[in-house]
Structure 1
Amino acid sequence: MKIAICEFHQETNSFNPFPSPLEDYLVFGLWEGEELLKNGNGSSALDGMIHVLEENKVQIVPTCRMWANAAGPVEAQVVEDYWKNLSRRLKEALPLDGVCISLHGATQSTASQDVCGDLLEKIRQLVGPSTILSASLDLHANITEKMLKNAEFLCGYHTYPHVDFYETGSRAASLCLQRLKNPQKPLHTRCIHLPMIAPASSYTTLFGPFSELMRHAEHFVEEKKIADFSIFQRQPWLDVGVGGSAVLTVSESDSSKLLLELARRFLNLRHSFHSDIRSVQEIIHVAENNATGKPLVLVDSADSTNAGANGDSAYILHEILRLNSSVKAALSLRCAPAVRQAFQTGVGKTGTFTIGASINSSMSAPVTLQAYVQSLHDGIYTQEGPAKRGLVNHLGPTAVLKFRNTSILVSEQLLGAGDLQLYRHHGMEPLFYQMVAVKTCTSFRASYLPVASDIIEADTPGAASSNLLTLPFRNLPKRFYPFAEIDESDLTIPKRFR
């Protein structure tokens, strides 16, 4: 049995005006051939696929992998070059029994609204109708008809914060093998679309109604009523006219009744998906009186680099300055000019720094202040997790500046923004601050929930705002929640079931 593996991963924020170039992928390395088998950290979807295939003595054909952090639409040439490389390697390996591919699922390019659907369609045309295609996807994937038509299996993460990358890759590979080993008992994927999106900060699988929905679906698997399921909350900053949130089930027999039950439960939760957003001024005042010995976490989700924003907003720093606050705070943001100046100034010296809005000046404004250069770093650190534990991030040259009681981490990149090691590795212990700002939506909860005194969502500017009604959507269908009310008649069941 011969199965190819590959990966193309990027989450797109349509409101980020800067296209994502090849350089965004170079940060994480371009892997080809045997590099796919050697370079994993043991916790990715690709690693999960490899482990399952190796355990089953499958001949693995490693092709190519490109992975980038969330950003604006991918430059069309990047996708084209990836396909040229992938198609060449797939052609050389034909015939193939299967292809296992790691995708994000919500990827837009400057030329296409459905990059993942395009790739699956091209792979299908190349390998033929008898080869099994199985993909791992983010929980925030945008499931399109093109994706459903060309892949037998689409497996989404079951956790948010995402901590089951490996397990999801394992599920995708296992379903592929099960289909190949038991052709007389084929598994079928069934899907219902829901025309809705929700702020990513408004739900989690750690607790609450969305968590209960996932547990309910897991019981169906435990009771062997279905082989697998995925519940996709479409990435809310993807402004495209195709796809939507979705519920998928995989089973040998007809699972339509269970699928419809899950879809109805999902639909009925829509009004619970909202964020309690408070002003930064209010949060700072609360933090100033924080004497718990644990940090209050200010969530700057609108500028989340995990959600495709630029991570360069200094709005929180601006408010600390405006309020003349003495709060002991830890902040982080991307600002290459401030980093360069810090290295020129030197450790232990003070200078006048202009910080923020160095990438996207349309979303926020820079702040100019006198700051002390506390430390300088190469920006290479390892995440402690639990999400992506062991992942090595490269921020580029990084500096820690001190202004009053506030420590500011400035770097060329902002990766792993919800991991405690972003601060700890650079000499900023989160537990020693009254307030810690995180530029992420929900991923931080896996790390910060056990150590935080409180977690408060902030009303800040950015391309990943939780207030979806304020964003300039142009491509969504007219009946799409929360922009219009929907009901059960808006649930769509594709005619084609695999």
Structure 2
Amino acid sequence: MARIGILGFLHETNTFAPGPTVLERFIEADAWPGLVEGQALLAATQDMNLAVSGFIAAMQPDGHELVPLLWCSANPSGPVSDTAFEHIVARLETLLRLSGPLDALFLDLHGSMVTETLDDAEGVLLQRLRTITGPHLPYVAALDFHAIITQAMVDQTQAMVAYHSYPHVDMAATGARAAQMLRRILAGEVFHAAWHKLDFLVSMPWQSTLGDEPAGQIMAQGRALEAPDRPEVQFIPGFPNSDTPASGPAVLAYAISPELAQAGADALLAQVRRHQSAFCGHLHTPQAALQAAAAHPAARYILADTQDNPGGGGAGDTTGIAQALLAHGISNAAVALLCDADFAQAAHQAGVGAILNMTLGGRSSPGGPPLPGPYEVLALGSGQLTGTGPFYLGCRMDLGPMTRVRVQGTDLEILVSSRKQQAADQAMFHHLGADPRDYRILVLKSSVHFRADFGALADHILVVQSPGANTADLHALPYTRLRPGVNIL
């Protein structure tokens, strides 16, 4: 039986978001566990839709000795501080040295981490770990759907597998795929990689794999190219709000021969090129979205506040769509989740039924102004809840004190958290005594993940362009570091 080290270090870096992302963001819990070490890692991640959880669950029946080292993540945000990166990497290096001889290493990574001085933080991490384990220890990594593949990442691993879906309902399943690749490597098989970097960027809302979206069709075509001798043929769309020379999608294949891997990568590349022009969609202004909703009063709408999506680096506190709802007098609507720790604390001090005469949100830039009060406190919650939807399934969240309030004199309700998190699970509503089915209009601070648990509730879903750091129109971003020839779709 093998001794397999397990580690995770995840961050999706929006280089245009105000930063830096400091160490405290990795230490604290949010939707996912805070920084955890050793055997506590197993309990902290058990039964969650996370790659590390799926890998552990898949490998435990094999009887291997699993050696958990460290796992941490931080909500998408600005560049990781060099201090935070060095602190966590140094701790990983120490734990790896103390772990004793290993037969393999599993790494749960995002794949698009950028620090204040490093464009390819994962590539550097892998190189640093290799100085301890040597060049031949099998490394198998699980990656996010939005990973930015680099040559260093390919060179320093024996295999990398990325999520197939967006919304990421298959994170645990991806960990199980990584386990299967590692089983074969431990049995003596050698996999050869072939990959292509593509020369365009796709905005997050148009990367969805649901329905007839181009990404979904490409994913299916990748699966059709797979076979026992070529177990992975992947399209990895990348994170477009990252301004680095490596930014952009990739095609990555693994097979038992270089020729088989190259044939799979080439075939999927041709399919991506065939679908490339379909990666587009329409961004609605708040006014246009609300006019559409007003014109169909019997229809249910979800307005995706994509540019304030905490899952893409947004602050989670912008007020543009809420301001528009109030201006249009739209009834039976809810906004979730708006992050304002001071407001949530004040609500808890005041209690249910109290009237709060204070402003809410709008502290980040771009994103203001704050919403004026007063507000009626309808419900309070600890922020400790368990995800029940396909994306956050099993995740034991800690969002800090939460409250649900109504803007006095209206029927606009706002769900407030103390830590930013995208509204992608109905459990967030239930935690505050609300049912999302009871609202005609839901404003959800999310780009795509909300579709997994909320999509079926709506007759119409409109992606709305309102101020926020997660810019959806990539043409508006001041890229300066993309490699020559990269196009913005």
- Which of 170, 182, 186 is the aligned partner of 1:176? 182
Q: Partners in 1 of 2:296 and 2:377 — Cα distance? A: 26
Q: Deviations over 1:177-204 (max 9, x none)?
A: 212212xx42111111112211111132
Alpha-carbon displacement from aligned partner over 1:394-447 (angstroms, at most 9, x marks no partner): 111112111201001122113251111212221221111110011111111111
| Equivalent residue number for residue 5 of structure 2 | 4
Q: Which residue matches 1:451?
A: 457
Tell me the equivalent position of 2:243: 239
Specify which of 212, 220, 230 is matched with residue 217 of structure 2: 212
Match in the other structure for 2:372: 368
| Inter-partner Cα distance in structure 1 for 2:91 and 2:296 | 54
The alpha-carbon deviation at position 305 of structure 1 amounts to: 0.5
Alignment partner, residue 14 of structure 2 = 13
For 2:274, the equivalent position in structure 1 comes to: 268
Question: Does residue 53 of structure 2 align to residue 52 of structure 1?
Answer: no
Assess if the C-alpha contact under 8 Å between 1:364 and 1:462 holds in 2: no
Partners of 1:212 and 1:372 in 2: how far apart?
Answer: 47
Q: Is residue 100 of structure 2 the alignment partner of residue 99 of structure 1?
A: no
Alignment partner, residue 229 of structure 1: 233
Task: Give the match's secondary structure for 1:450.
Answer: helix
Deviation at 1:51, TM superposition (A): 2.4
- 1:264 shift after superposition: 2.0
Structure 2 unaligned segments of length 5 or more: list them. Answer: none
Deviations 1:47-96 (A, max 9, x none): 22212332222222211111222121112122111112211121123432
Query: C-alpha offsets along residues 139-171 of structure 1, whole Å, 9 cap, x if unaligned?
Result: 100001111111111110011110111111111
**Paired letter, 1:462:** G
1:393–1:416 CA contact under 8 A, matched in 2: no
Aligned residues: 477
Q: Is 1:134 aligned with 2:140?
A: yes
Number of the residue aligned with 2:72: 66
Q: Runs (4+) of structure 1 moved beyond 6 Å? A: none
What pairs up with 1:381-400 in 2 under 5 angstroms?
A: 381-400=385-404
Q: 2:330: which partner in 1?
A: 326
Partner of 2:92: 86
What is the deviation of 1:335? 1.5
- Given that 1:418 and 1:440 are in contact with CA atoms closer than 8 Å, whether structure 2 keeps it comes out as yes
Aligned to 1:418, the other structure's residue is in SS state coil
Separation in structure 2 between the aligned mates of residue 312 and residue 407 of structure 1, nearest angstrom = 15
Secondary structure at the residue paired with 1:142?
coil
Deviation for aligned residue 1:344: 4.1
Moved more, 14-23 or 143-152: 14-23
Q: Which residue of 2 aligns with 1:303?
A: 308
Q: Normalising by the residue count of structure 1, what TM-score does the alignment of the two structures yield? A: 0.92
Please report how far the alpha carbon of residue 34 of structure 1 lies from its aligned counterpart in structure 2 after TM superposition.
Answer: 0.7
1:188 aligns to 2:192 (yes or no)? yes
1:361, distance to aligned residue in structure 2 (A): 3.0
Distance 1:175 1:326 in 2: 52
Separation in 2, partners of 1:9, 1:354:
34
Question: Contact between 1:330 and 1:428, CA under 8 Å: does it hold in 2?
Answer: no
Per mean C-alpha deviation after superposition, the further-off stretch among 204-213 and 428-437 is 204-213
TM-superposed CA distance for 1:238, in Å, is 1.0
Provide structure 1 residue ranges, at least 5 long, that are not aligned to the other structure.
484-498
- Where 2:201 maps in the other structure, the secondary structure is coil
How high is the TM-score relative to the length of structure 2? 0.93
1:23 aligns with 2:24: yes
1-side partners of 2:54 and 2:40: how far apart?
Answer: 15
Q: Which amino acid aligns with 2:20?
A: P
- 8 Å CA contact 2:141–2:178 kept in 1: the answer is yes
The reply to whether residue 118 of structure 1 matches residue 118 of structure 2 is no
Deviations along 1:108-158, one digit per CA (max 9) or x if unpaired, are 112211111111111122111221111000010000111111111111001
Structure 2 vs 1, CA of residues 138 and 370 (structure 1 numbering), >3 Å: closer, same or farther? same
Structure 2 CA distance, aligned partners of 1:234 and 1:363? 26
Q: Measure the CA separation in 1 of the matches of 2:458 and 2:245.
A: 39
Matched-pair contact (CA < 8 Å) for 1:287–1:434: no
8 Å CA contact 2:240, 2:247 repeated in 1: no
Identical counterparts, % of pairs: 28
Question: Is 2:416 aligned against 1:410?
Answer: yes
Give the aligned partner of residue 494 of structure 1: none
- Does residue 1:442 correspond to 2:448, yes or no? yes
Give the aligned residue type for 1:15.
Answer: F
Determine which of 333, 340, 343 is the counterpart of 1:338: 343
- 2:83 is aligned, of 77, 80, 93, to 77
**Deviation string for 1:16-52 (max 9, x for gaps)?**
1121122212223221111122222323211222123
2:84 partner SS: helix
Q: Distance in 2 between matches of 1:441 and 1:410?
A: 18
The letter for the 1-side match of 2:346 is: Q
Quick check: 1:258 aligned with 2:259? no
Give the CA deviation at 1:290: 4.6
Amino acid at match of 2:317: D
Residue 243 of structure 1 deviates from its aligned partner by: 4.5
| Structure 2 counterpart of 1:490 | none
